[in-house]
Amino acid sequence: MRAVRHSCFHSDAQMVSFETARAVAVALAEPLNRQEDVPLVRAVGRILAATIEAPCALPPFDQAAMDGYAVRLSGETGVPLVLPISGRTRAGDKPDVLAPGTAHRVMTGAPLPGGADTVVMQEHATCRGDHVQFGLDVEAGCHVRRVGEDVTKGTAILRPGRVIGWTEVALLSALGIATVSVACPLRIVVLVTGSELRHAGEPLPFGAIYDSNGPMLGALLAEPSAHVTSLTVRDDLAAITQALERIAGTADLVIVTAGMSVGEEDHVRNAVVRAGGGLDIVKVAMKPGKPLAFGTLAGAYFIGLPGNPQAAAFGALAFVRPMMKALLGQAPANRITAKINFTHPRKPGRTELLPVRLNVEQGRLTAHRSGPDGSHRMMPLVFADAVAVVPGASTPVEVGTPLEVLPFAQPRFDVN
C-alpha cells in the first residue's frame, strides 16, 4: 500500500485542483490482487481476475447453418438439378460422409458431412421421393459455419478487469467453462458521523434528522464486486476512535462522512490518528465538497467525505468509484461528455459539480439542470441521473458547451 504522506496531499499542502485530487486518489489505490473461483452462474457482475483462453473452437466443427441439403460444389463444372439423397444428419448426430454425386439431408447445427462444402436451404429445393431437385441459383460455400470462424482454440477471449455480464456468460457457457476466477469483493465500511442522526423508523426529536448518507452511499456503491456496510456514530472523539478501531483490519476501504473540517465538533482527523491510521487532510478546489481526506487505517484505504448529501454523493462518484475500480484491477473508466442546455456562472480556479438529467437530442447526449443549487437538497438528486463537471473559469458556461458528466449508473462503455 502506497503511503499517502509522500504524495501532494501532505498535511501542509495547499488546496489542490479537482483534477489533481482525482489523479492522486486513483494512484493511491493499488490493486488488491485477491481472487477466488466461482461458478459461472454466480459470476454476473464480478470482475474477471485472470485471462481466459478458449479451450475449444467455436463452432467446434463445420456445421450446417440452415435446414437443407449438403452437396459438393468445389471442383465441379456443374451441379445436376436433381440428385439422389444419400443420408440424413441431425444436430447432435455423429458426422457422416457425403457419397459422391449425391445430396445429404442436414438440419441446422448438424455436422457437415465429410466432402460437402455447401448447404442448399430447403426453401430452394424440392424433394421428390428419394431425390431432391434444386433451383438454378445454387452458390458454392453457402450456409456453412466453418470450424473456429467465431473463436479459435487457444485465443485469449477475455482479459482481467472485464465485468462479467450476460454476454460473457453466453460465450463462456458455449465454450464449456463452468468456473471463473474473479476478484474478491471489496470490503467497504461507511462510517457516518453526527450526534443529530437517527435511523429511519426511530422517533425524531426536535433538532435531529434521519441519516441519509449511510443508506445512500450503500446503494450508490453497491455492486456484486463490493460488500458495503454502514455504521453511525455520534460526534465524540472517543466514540469515533473506538468505531475506527473496530473497523480497522476488517475493511479494504473505509469511508467517513462529515467531521472532516476544523470545527469544534469535527473529530475525524484526530480519531484516525488515535486509531493508528495515517491521514492527510486537504482542501480541493471544488463545490460542493471542499474538505476531503485521503489516508490509511490499519491496512485499509481511507477517504473522508463531506456531510451534506450532494457533497457526499458527488465525492463518491468522483473519487470513491474510481478508487474501487483501481483496487479491483480495472482500467479507469472512459470519460463521457454531454452538451449542456443551460448557462451557469463560474469562478476561476474552482470546479463545480451540478446534478443534471441526461437526454439524447438530435443524436447527441445533452445535460439539463435537475434542480436549484444547494448541497443539502435531495430532490435535485432524485430528478438527476448524472453530475456535470464544470471547470473553473472567469466567464459563464454557455448553452452547447461540452462538459464531462459522471453518470449515477455505471455504463459498460469502458470494458477492456
Cell numbers 443529530 correspond to what residue?
196
Could you report the per-residue pLDDT of 100-140, keeping only the tens digit for each?
999 999 999 999 999 999 999 999 899 989 999 987 677 88
Q: Model-level pTM?
A: 0.85
Mean pLDDT for the stretch of residues 42-60: 96
pLDDT attached to residue 119: 95
C-alpha cell at 403: 462538459
pLDDT attached to residue 77: 54
pLDDT attached to residue 415: 41
Q: Please name the fold of domain 336-414.
A: Beta-clip (2.40.340)
Superfamily designation of domain 37-57+149-182:
Molybdopterin biosynthesis moea protein, domain 2 (3.90.105.10)
pLDDT attached to residue 298: 85
φ/ψ of 387, rounded to 5, equals -120, 130
**pLDDT > 70: what percent of the chain?**
92
Residue 271 near residue 280 (C-beta atoms within 8 A):
no
pLDDT attached to residue 220: 96
Could you report the per-residue pLDDT of 245-269, keeping only the tens digit for each?
999 889 999 999 987 766 666 788 7
Measured distance CA(79)–CA(14) in Å, rounded = 83
pLDDT attached to residue 382: 95
Q: Please name the fold of domain 63-145.
A: Molybdopterin biosynthesis moeA protein; domain 3 (2.170.190)
Could you report the per-residue pLDDT of 320-332, keeping only the tens digit for each?
999 999 999 999 9
Residue 9: burial class (beta carbons within 10 Å; 0-12, 13-18, 19+): buried
C-alpha cell at 54: 478458449
Measured distance CA(282)–CA(280) in Å, rounded = 6
CA dihedral 383, 388, 392, 395 (to 10 degrees): -70
Whether domain 15-34+185-327 has CATH 3.40.980.10: yes
Cell numbers 478458449 correspond to what residue?
54
State the SS3 of the chain. Answer: CCCHHHCCCCCCCCCECHHHHHHHHHHHCCCCCCEEEEEHHHCCCCEECCCEECCCCECCCCEECCCEEEECCCCCCCCCCEEEEEEEECCCCCCCECCCCCEEEECCCCECCECCCEEEEHHHEEEECCEEEECCCCCCCCCEECCCCCECCCCEEECCCCECCHHHHHHHHHCCCCEEEEECCEEEEEEEECCCEECCCCCCCCCCEECCHHHHHHHHHCECCEEEEEEEECCCHHHHHHHHHHHCCCCCEEEEECCCCCCCCCCHHHHHHHCCCEEEEEEECEECCCEEEEEEECCEEEEEECCCHHHHHHHHHHHHHHHHHHHCCCCCCCCEEEEECCCECCCCCCEEEEEEEEEEECCEEEEEECCCCCCCCCHHHHCCCEEEEECCCCCCECCCCEEEEEECCCCCCCCC
Residue 344: burial class (beta carbons within 10 Å; 0-12, 13-18, 19+): middle
C-alpha cell at 401: 458547451
CA 169 → CA 39, 59, 165, 174, 201, distances in Å? 11, 17, 6, 8, 41
In the chain, where the domains are located: 15-34+185-327, 37-57+149-182, 63-145, 336-414
Measured distance CA(274)–CA(278) in Å, rounded = 9
